[in-house]
Structure 1
Amino acid sequence: MTQHTIGTREEWFAARLELLEAEKALTRRGDELARQRQALPRVRIDKDYRFETEAGPASLADLFDGRSQLLVYHFMFGPDYSAGCPSCSSTADGFDPIVVHLAHHDVTLMAASRAPLARLLAYRRRMGWRFPWASSHDSDFNADFSIWFTEAQQRAGDVEYNYRHEPVFEWRPDAEVGGLTAEARIAAMCGTHVPTFHRDRPGMSAFVLEDGVVYHTYSAYARGLDDLWSMYQWLDRAPMGRNEHGVWWRRHDEYSDG
């Protein structure tokens, strides 16, 4: 167990002021990074991506739902999954409260996954969510935005994720918990095995619609999504921090006292 200093209120206050300066510097750096994101070159989208939505077949432009900005969360839910990724599910638990605010600020927030629409909507009902969710099942969308890869790509070491090249797929050396690696436990929670689970990846992408033309402006993956996973923003401020030993989180309806 980590040993922590026990001090007086005066000592705490002095240390807190020192930390405050570091936090302010991080906030200012975050503001600058946001400006850099918004200044990235925009890439015109000419491919006709097709989606299935509750309103019927849709193009990428249709997903904007009358607004000029679109934020898509690439939710890990492949056609071979029996349930959505529990990590993505934890992230998505924070979507509903902000969807309405973003909508009134000219931004549509939605999820997109490769699983058929009926399975996505059934899972959404189970989770009690309301945010819009589109199926990209018959589209190149996931492949083109580097969040889905084929078995052939895995075997050939031809996977580019999070802006870097990955080696030929191997089981990661996670610490074993309950006889399974952390990855294997999460894959099992989705009703699949690690290689299949790993062909879908998490991410988010941003788009803007101008004069009827869609432009891609930004995408983030892996730890680049940490700020969107609100659970961790709270844990980082808790006395013990993330304090993780393997996979501890569940879907919100799977905790024993849920």
Structure 2
Amino acid sequence: MNPDQPKVVSREAWRAARIALLAKEKAFTRQRDALNAERRRLPLVEVHEDYRFLGPHGEVRLLDLFEGRRQLIVYHFMYLREHGEGCDGCSLVVDNIGHPAHLHARDTSLALVSRAPLAEIEAFRQRMGWTLPWYSSFESRFNYDYHVSLDENVAPVEYNYRDRDELQRLGQDYHLAGEQPGVSVFLRDGERVYHSYSSYGRGLDLLVGTYNYLDLTPLGRLEGWDGMPDLDGQGTRWWRLHDSYQSPAPSCCADHRKPA
């Protein structure tokens, strides 16, 4: 038998093991519900900056990204201009976003924002076949203020609530400069906008339905950590742009599959 596979047992032994795991899954669900409730109770910070973005129909404000709804989720999408395409990890996130009607029915809008010229964003969006709202923050401080564009000449380096010294101590030099992924959440009260939440690194796993499906399987994500086998045995990250899986080219993003 393949050594990567779990051991084979009788149906009775499997059932006993499954019931034991079910108790842990139920406990985890209750913990997750409690964590979600705590997240909802986070205090708000009013956004006073007049951020401007460029979209297909011209310049818009942060307030306009709500499209009249009370809540806004912004996915900070890494557009890698040096490669002429979006980050494969961020693209995986967007591929896993469901139909927006379900968010809209709960008074919530979702938009992608990237620090790149709109023309480059639009070309890549058409290549990927996405229809979600996607805005350029190329002429704005928005990405720097929400710590997804890192340049110490513009603002002190901080990613995932860690400063430059801590990132270097952890060996996360790939988070010291350039574009990074993240998600930020905003609440609107009339014309006033409030920031409620931002998450980075492993916090973005929550957004990837593909991970949730793979986490149900014996081989997991096939990424070579936490006892999972590696898909190709070479320690390389497995995801690609959805039109590039036949390409032998390595991932364009840094190989940080399990950031702290």
Q: How high is the TM-score relative to the length of structure 1? A: 0.83
**Are residues 117 and 14 of structure 1, via their aligned partners in 2, closer, same or farther at CA, if it must alter by over 3 Å?**
same
Task: Identify the residue that residue 133 of structure 1 maps to in structure 2.
Answer: 134
Contact 2:70 2:108 in 1 (8 A): yes
- 1:252 paired with 2:242, answer yes
Distance in 2 of aligned mates of 1:104 and 1:14: 41
Is contact 2:117-2:136 (8 Å) kept? yes
**Cα 1:207–1:168 shift into 2, 3 Å:** closer
The change in CA–CA distance for 1:34 and 1:195 in structure 2 (over 3 A counts) is closer
Q: Give the conservation status (yes or no) of the 8 Å contact 2:53–2:59.
A: yes
Taking the aligned partners of 1:162 and 1:145, their CA distance within structure 2 comes to: 10
Matched, 1:41 2:76: no
For the structure 1 residues 81 and 168, does the alpha-carbon distance in structure 2 shift closer, same or farther, using more than 3 Å as the test?
farther
What one-letter code is carried by the residue in structure 2 that aligns with 1:101? H
**CA positional deviation for 1:13:** 0.7
Amino acid aligned to 1:16 = R
Residue type of the alignment partner of 2:164: E
Aligned to 1:211: 190
Greater RCO, CA 8 A, separation 6+: 1
- d(CA) in 2 for partners of 1:3 and 1:105? 42
Cα separation, partners in 2 of 1:134 and 1:153, compared to 1, 3 Å: closer
- The answer on whether the counterparts of 1:49 and 1:140 sit within 8 Å (CA) in structure 2 is yes
Could you tell me whether the CA contact under 8 Å between 1:73 and 1:110 is conserved in 2?
Answer: yes
Report the Cα distance in structure 2 between the residues aligned to 1:98 and 1:64, rounded to whole angstroms. Answer: 17
Pairs within 5 Å for 1:101-250 = 101-150=102-151, 152=153, 158-167=156-165, 198-244=177-223, 245-250=235-240
**In structure 2, do the counterparts of structure 1 residues 118 and 153 end up closer, same or farther at CA, with 3 Å as the change threshold?**
closer
Letter in 2 for 1:43: V
Task: Give the distance between the partners of 2:26 and 2:57, measured in 1 at CA.
Answer: 45
Q: Which structure has greater helix proportion?
A: 1
Counterpart CA distance in 2 for 1:3 and 1:69 is 44
For residue 110 of structure 1, report the CA deviation from its aligned partner.
1.1
Q: Residue 99 of structure 1: CA displacement?
A: 1.4
Shift of 1:123: 0.5
What are the ranges of 5 or more consecutive residues in structure 1 without an aligned counterpart? 175-182, 184-193
Q: Which whole-Å deviations, capped at 9, do the CAs of 1:72-94 have from their partners, x for residues lacking one?
A: 00000155441100110011101
Relative to 1, partners in 2 of residues 1:251 and 1:210: Cα closer, same or farther, differing over 3 Å?
same
Q: 76, 81, 92: which one pairs with 1:90?
A: 92
User: Contact 1:51–1:58 at 8 Å: present in 2 too?
Assistant: yes
Q: Note the alpha carbon deviations across 1:6-47, whole angstroms, 9 max, x for none.
A: 111111111101100111111111111111111000100000
> Whole-Å Cα distance in 2 between the matches of residues 206 and 88 of structure 1?
17
C-alpha distance in 2, partners of 1:114/1:59?
A: 15
- Counterpart code for 2:106: H
The alpha-carbon deviation at position 243 of structure 1 amounts to 2.0
Task: Write the distance in 2 (CA, Å) between the matches of 1:163 and 1:133.
Answer: 25
Contact 1:79 / 1:116 at 8 angstroms: preserved in 2? Answer: no
Distance across 2 between alignment mates of 1:135 and 1:76: 11
Secondary structure of the structure 1 residue equivalent to 2:149: coil
Aligned residue among 51, 54, 73 for 2:56: 54
How far off is 1:103 after superposition? 1.3
SS at match of 2:18: helix
2 CA distance for matches of 1:241 and 1:79? 32
Q: CA RMSD in A?
A: 2.4
- Alpha-carbon deviation of 1:246? 1.5
Contact 2:80 2:87 in 1 (8 A): no
Paired AA for residue 241 in structure 2: R
> Which AA in structure 2 matches 1:86?
D
